[in-house]
Amino acid sequence: MNNAGNDATDQGWDEPWYRLRTDRFEASFLPGAGEDLDTVCNVDVEVRLATDGSRWSATVFTLAEVERLMKRWSQTGEWLGGRYFWCSDGLIVRDPGIGNMTQVLTGLLDAGDFTQVLQRLDDE
């Protein structure tokens, strides 16, 4: 069972999203079909803050996933043969899993860095 962070008050599938709610935000992760939530290493997330309803996004990668991608690109020739990695809304974390990623999001809020790291989405 996935323990997606000790602040989670509600969590579960809302296909294709895995949604997690804390008292500070709701995070909607988009893992691959059948992907183990404890080993997710490359995932898009949208976060809605409880304080003002603003929406933020990131693509979260683990260090190991970035290394895997760069090695693959060195063989395929993509991204200058894997010589660089870039993603406009990328957030690199050390450890895999939705729980760890949720803890990082909470830590970013605690540190006051959340709005510098994630990309704000325009409300329609």
pLDDT in tens, 70-115: 999 999 999 999 999 999 899 999 999 999 999 999 999 999 999 9
* Confidence at 33, pLDDT banded by 50, 70, 90: confident
Q: State how far the Cα of 19 lies from the Cα of 46, in Å rounded to an integer.
A: 9
97 token code pair: 């899993």
Contact at 8 Å (CB) between 47 and 54? no
What DSSP letter does each residue of the chain carry, written as one string? -----TT-SEEEEETTEEEEE-SSEEEEEEPPTT--TTS--EEEEEEEETTT--EEEEEEEEHHHHHHHHHHHHHH-HHHHHT----TTEEEESS-SHHHHHHHHHHHHHHT-HHHHSEEEPP-
pLDDT for the residue numbered 102: 97
**pLDDT at residue 1 greater than cutoff 80:** no
Contact at 8 Å (CB) between 54 and 118? no
* Confidence at 10, pLDDT banded by 50, 70, 90: confident
Contact at 8 Å (CB) between 37 and 121? no
